[in-house]
Amino acid sequence: MGQLDGVGRAHSDGGCQVRSPEELSVDVLTLPCRVWATVKAMRGSVVLADDVPVEGGQLELSSGRAARERLSFTLSPDWVPVDEWSPFAPYGQVVRLLVHVAPDGVAPFVVDRGSFLLHEVTWDAGTTGSVKVTAYSLLQRLVDDDFPFPTSPDPKATLSREVERLCAPHLVPVFECDDPVLPGGLSWGNRRVEALGKLADMYGLRFYVSVDDMLHVVDSTRRGVVASYSGEDLLLSESRKASHAVPNKWTAVSNSASGDKSHSGGLSHTVEVDAGPRASALYGVVHKVLQVQAGSQDEIVAAADRAMRETTSSGDERSFRIVQDFRLDLGDLIQVRTPDGEAVAGVVTGLVMDFSGGAQTMRVDVREKVV
């Protein structure tokens, strides 16, 4: 969940109070309301434009994308870029998104959704057509800046030290997790985000850029329930999807130069579901191979066991359409009680928030957790 502003404090914005998502109650969220957005554009430390209204837009969050947050919006023709210092030219410009909410009978407020790096700007040259802008989470800076060669952690580096190295000079990490010394023999390719992903897999972490513009690295096992929904308040409808693509066999493999060799060229360990609906006798075999950076067989075994545990504790994919809830982010754990009385707990894997004036609902995708 995001915080209120860069330092978590309430402040006013054009007469509207900027409110923390955590402060929003079900009573407020279910009121009929008007929703719109404004953006502030900056290049470096220079503010190029402030309080610019967008004519329509959408914020889409997906755990399947490297830069997981994508912002798209439309501006009037007045904002066609003419040079690199134009507010909405893709020359390192960053936009700050403020979502304005005016519920019936309640004082309007603003929700700060953080900063986004401009990626693409399109318009019809020579016409009065609108300007269409696409921007991504600041994590895009790591996506854009690959290392020239494969890299490795420094000897005896801790988790925090290696994450800081992978993020420099683009993002400052904040840690809400343990800080173990990394095993010897680790090596990465040249993509920073892929290396972060491998560390997340090794230690059960998730990472995201928060509204403070810093990369938060958190222990994914410590998350609590963020929000609850039912047909009586926020839940409007649901759909679900089951897939045969769910693995029932996992092999963790490491090409580490150290440790005991259990296969040609490195370490490995395989685990498999042997009972239940995904047992291979009837389900078949859906095999996932995990490339894990580890220096011992114990670490390889732990990685394979963790992958199986996380998958078998997850159920079907569910999609819910709910009243706009600005509290939610990827990785949040939510609870839902469906109209037929079923209780569902799951982790948010995607959401689509629309702030084009009259939008009242949003889609939330959840990976169900099996208790």
The CATH number of 11-138 is: 2.30.110
Q: What percent of the chain has pLDDT over 90?
A: 33
Give CA–CA dist 86/93, Å, rounded: 9
Tokens of 11: 């402040």
pLDDT of the residue at 258: 40
pLDDT of the residue at 144: 95
Q: In terms of pLDDT, which residue wins out, 235 or 21?
A: 235
Identify any residues that bridge with 269 across adjacent strands, giving them in sequence order. 252
Residue 206 has pLDDT above 90, yes or no: no
CATH superfamily of 146-220: Baseplate protein-like domains (3.55.50.10)
Mean pLDDT of the chain: 81
Give CA–CA dist 24/329, Å, rounded: 14
* Mean pLDDT, residues 104-118 taken together: 89
What backbone torsions phi and psi does residue 349 show, to the nearest 5 degrees? -110, -10
What's the angle, vertex CA 318, arms to CA 312 and CA 324, rounded to 5?
A: 135
Q: In terms of pLDDT, which residue wins out, 239 or 122?
A: 122
pLDDT of the residue at 226: 79
Residue 218 has pLDDT above 70, yes or no: yes
CATH fold of 223-241+314-369, please?
Elongation Factor Tu (Ef-tu); domain 3 (2.40.30)
Give CA–CA dist 188/153, Å, rounded: 8
Q: Which of 246, 252, 255, 301 is nearest to 277 (CA)?
A: 246
Sign of CA pseudo-dihedral 298, 304, 305, 310: positive
* Mean pLDDT, residues 99-106 taken together: 83
Q: What percent of the chain has pLDDT over 70?
A: 80
pLDDT of the residue at 25: 67
320 CB-contact burial (10 Å; exposed 0-12 / middle 13-18 / buried 19+): buried
Residues 47-72 pLDDT 10s: 999 999 998 889 998 887 788 899 99
* Mean pLDDT, residues 307-327 taken together: 74
Residue 196 has pLDDT above 80, yes or no: yes
pLDDT of the residue at 212: 92
Quickly count: other Cβ atoms within 10 Å of residue 194's Cβ: 17
Name the residue ranges covered by the structural domains of the chain: 11-138, 146-220, 223-241+314-369, 249-312
Which residues have a Cβ under 8 Å from the Cβ of 341 and sit 6 or more positions away? Answer: none
Of 158-162, 244-248, 277-281, 283-287, which one has max mean pLDDT? Answer: 158-162
Give CA–CA dist 253/303, Å, rounded: 9
Residue 234 has pLDDT above 80, yes or no: no
